[in-house]
Chains A and B, each alone.
Chain A
Amino acid sequence: MPTIIEEGKDTIIFVTKEDHEAPSNAELVEEDPNDPYEERGLILPSGEINWNCPCLGGMASGPCGSEFKEAFSCFHYSKEEVKGSECLDQFRSMQECMQRYPELYPQEDEKDEKDKQEQATESGANAASEGQKDNDTTESEVKS
């Protein structure tokens, strides 16, 4: 049984693990999925992209914000079999922009992306490593 101590207006309850084992019977109000005020995630209920999502960091607001928005929008609405396959131009210009601000878009992200590529690949792990190798060698040709 929980130990309850009253100290003036303050109540102190000590509970052991067993005391809290039974599930709570506290009632919470059901969430309204259409609550207009609620903080939204990346995708709004309407299906649009929430550019103000904290998860995007400064991506949509920085110097490359417009390029990022175009690329990501294109990807998001892409109905191609390979999603985003028609968005190469946008991604290319976004990447070019980002390379102009290495301070803001550090290249160390490549390391994370390598890991992600490993995970994301469904057909053949060697595909990912080939993609990177190519990426690294052609990096120097990006100047425009």
Chain B
Amino acid sequence: MLKCRAVWRKLAPLARSASTQCRHNVKTALNNGRRQAFVPATHMSTGPAGGGGSENTLYVVLVGAACLGGGAYAYMTVRGDSKRYEERISELASRSAKEAPESQPPVAPEPEEAAPTSEESAPVAELSGETESASAEEPVTETPPEAAEQAAPVLAEAEPVAEVPPEAVEEAPPVVEEAAEEPVTEAPPAAEPETVQEAPTEPAVTSLPESAPAPEPVSAPLTLPSHAPYLLIGGGTASFAAARSIRARDPGAKVLIVTDEPNLPYMRPPLSKELWFSDDPSVTETLRFKQWNGKERSIYFQPSSFYVKPEELTSAENGGVAVLTGKKVIQMDVRGNKVKLDDDTEISYDKCLIGTGGVPRNLQVIEKAGDEVMNRTTLFRKIEDFKSLDNVSRNVKSITIIGGGFLGSELACALGRRSSETGLEVIQMFPEKGNMGKVLPEYLSNWTTEKVKKEGVRIVPEALVKSVAFKEDKLEILLKDGRQVKTDHIVAAVGLEPNVDLAKSAGLEVDSDFGGYRVNAELQARSNIWVAGDAACFYDIRLGRRRVEHHDHAVVSGRLAGENMTGANKPYWHQSMFWSDLGPDVGYEAIGIVDSSLPTVGVFAKATSKDTPKAATEQSGTGIRSESETEATAVTPVASSTPAPVMEHKDEYGKGVIFYLRDKVVVGIILWNVFNRMPIARKIIKDGEEHADLNEVAKLFNIHED
């Protein structure tokens, strides 16, 4: 990792000096002809190695001359081309006036429209080539940015047009008016190729040098692609990680993400953590949060400029990632390799990833309780849920969170923090005895619960909800043991139901133990279909079959699926991790199977005030915790406006390591208030060895040090 950075650091100055060098050369060359002013040789030597002296000057001269020559040639070619084009147009215009009526209307507007576009395209050296023969003049240009790089003219003939945009033909069958792609030679011109190969509705566009399809929509509605080489269903973390992986490995790959949400891919952890601690009142709009190093970032993985528009995906020369929002895939035809959307369009694919994640579970008693109750219940998962809960929390007096796991506890802490400012009552109820009862061993769960209480949350443990009713403007929650809780709003954080809607139509297996699509160790469900993220029940060759609902797993499995979609055939091997922060002095990172029903061995040291999540990032200088893990993971621990309290002497579980054992082998590890040691934990799990004395293993973590 450091090596990458070092290499990149070396790279950057070279890039800088390279561009500086060239520009400088051209400038001086144009000014002084061939005579180069003495360029300080040190330009080149800001690179890693020292620079030579006089050789540099010569080199500089040659490079400058090459640039000058190339630039001049391109310029001349473009000028000549545009001149010839103008002549041709005027000739056609005069000729078409005598032509059959049906070809007239299209032709007349065509040249006019084409003319201005080509005007702009000409100086951009967009014309990638021409032949001498006037008739067969059909250079095909791609979208301007890419074409700008092709300095060398490419001879394009009539025939290649038939093949060249085969994608365009596929994309445009319903809409043949994409005139830009399909020039047709008109009757007389000498050459044979009557490239009238496209459909009759094609306006009789004569051999025009084309401009990019994008700037010349004319009257053609640009259509969505009907085929995507890589189709990713679902627009979450797993899909994004897969898209990135595919693009990295398959140059020029065209990736289409289809999501039923209106948003571009975003990361979920800040929705229940960092976004709640933001000072910005417009945070629900900007969705930006501040990391500990002061740097702000958006929850969106990438801004919209990163993506290609779906309509332009097929014709994009270097490919790209396109996101089709607001569309749901409702059916999958595995043998035909295509999917059907909810608006009846069909998209065929070569490789498909299912990253549909899941839907929050609800309590049956709430679903049966009627609209009044349902309207006052939030199932928290998406951006819109965050927005609505934020709004609600400002307008009600009491919120109850049902559920004591990660999401419930984090939201409870976030809202509890808010309660100190607004007087909001925050209640959390769950069937277990303490927070994170299914994850942490009992002693630690109790300790954690005390900490959550300190955040201002009223905890109602061992609570099984019997019924919920709306009475006297309040929600009345009746528990099985008779206790009653009155509140204004409910947040149900009781688990995730993996989304396996496509299983039936696709004929995919669903796992009965863990839920989700059953896939093999390489995350493959069937030929050409992979599943990643929350929805994948996969075979972990170290830990056995499982399904993991964590952010880092979505990243790791998405990346792996992307690799396998491009031919890697790697099993799930790099163990993903997860983390949680509950207040300023409880933070932990975990890896593997962390189930409180397993026997555990916890090794603890006395904590100092330096061992808090806040301190960990400040000290290491990384604004992103687990930056060393995956760069795409979200972010920092809890922002704390109050200084971390000094650990009390009796606070026994300040920091340490907890091992989870299965048949005497360590299958899970929690790093409790101990950070930046995940690689060791990962190694221990990977080894899968039986260790006689886990205290010795704990020594590897140096828990007493920072």
Whether the pair B631, A54 counts as a contact (CB closer than 8 A) is yes
Q: What are 28 A-B pairs with beta-carbon distances under 8 A?
A: A2-B695, A8-B442, A10-B443, A10-B602, A15-B603, A15-B604, A15-B695, A16-B605, A24-B699, A26-B691, A37-B571, A42-B7, A51-B248, A55-B1, A55-B4, A55-B8, A63-B318, A66-B252, A82-B49, A84-B14, A87-B18, A88-B22, A91-B19, A97-B145, A103-B306, A113-B16, A120-B46, A123-B42
Say if the beta carbon of B24 comes within 8 Å of chain A: yes
B-to-A contact residues, CB < 8 Å: 1, 3-5, 7-24, 27, 40, 42-52, 59, 63, 145, 148-149, 243-249, 251-252, 302-303, 305-306, 308, 318, 320-321, 441-443, 559, 562-563, 570-571, 573-574, 598-606, 630-632, 652, 683-684, 686-687, 689, 691, 693-700, 702-704
Minimum CB–CB distance from B555 to chain A (whole Å) comes to 9
Knowing A92-B22, A131-B20, A135-B20, say if A54 contacts B632 (CB, 8 Å).
yes
Distance in angstroms between the alpha carbons of A54 and B558 in the assembled complex:
13
Distance in angstroms between the alpha carbons of A25 and B501 in the assembled complex:
51
Within 8 A of B (CB), among A99-144: 100-101, 103-104, 109, 112-113, 116-117, 119-124, 126-128, 130-132, 134-135, 138, 141-142, 144
Distance in angstroms between the alpha carbons of A72 and B439 in the assembled complex:
45
Closest-by-CB residue of A relative to B631 is A54
Contacts of A38 in B (CB 8 A): 573-574
**Contact residues on A (Cβ < 8 Å of other chain), bracket:** 35 or more
Minimum CB–CB distance from A126 to chain B (whole Å) comes to 8
Minimum CB–CB distance from A67 to chain B (whole Å) comes to 8
Contacts of B691 in A (CB 8 A): 26-27
Interface string of A72-105 (1 = CB under 8 A from B): 1001000001111101100111111100110110
Distance in angstroms between the alpha carbons of A24 and B691 in the assembled complex:
12
Among B4, B442, B600, the one with the most A-chain Cβ atoms within 10 Å of its Cβ is B4
Contacts of B21 in A (CB 8 A): 88
Distance in angstroms between the alpha carbons of A105 and B320 in the assembled complex:
16
Say if the beta carbon of A33 comes within 8 Å of chain B: no
Knowing A92-B18, A116-B9, say if A65 contacts B248 (CB, 8 Å).
yes
Contacts of A87 in B (CB 8 A): 14, 18
Contacts of A130 in B (CB 8 A): 40, 42-43
Minimum CB–CB distance from A129 to chain B (whole Å) comes to 10
Whether the pair A14, B652 counts as a contact (CB closer than 8 A) is yes
Say if the beta carbon of A47 comes within 8 Å of chain B: no
Distance in angstroms between the alpha carbons of A124 and B687 in the assembled complex:
49
Minimum CB–CB distance from B386 to chain A (whole Å) comes to 23
Distance in angstroms between the alpha carbons of A57 and B148 in the assembled complex:
26
Say if the beta carbon of A43 comes within 8 Å of chain B: yes
Among A53, A61, A124, the one with the most B-chain Cβ atoms within 10 Å of its Cβ is A61
Say if the beta carbon of A46 comes within 8 Å of chain B: no
Contacts of B693 in A (CB 8 A): 25-26
Say if the beta carbon of A62 comes within 8 Å of chain B: yes
Whether the pair A53, B148 counts as a contact (CB closer than 8 A) is no
Whether the pair B604, A14 counts as a contact (CB closer than 8 A) is yes
Distance in angstroms between the alpha carbons of A22 and B605 in the assembled complex:
16
Partner of A63, one of B4, B306, B442, B563: B306
Distance in angstroms between the alpha carbons of A88 and B43 in the assembled complex:
12
Whether the pair B9, A120 counts as a contact (CB closer than 8 A) is yes
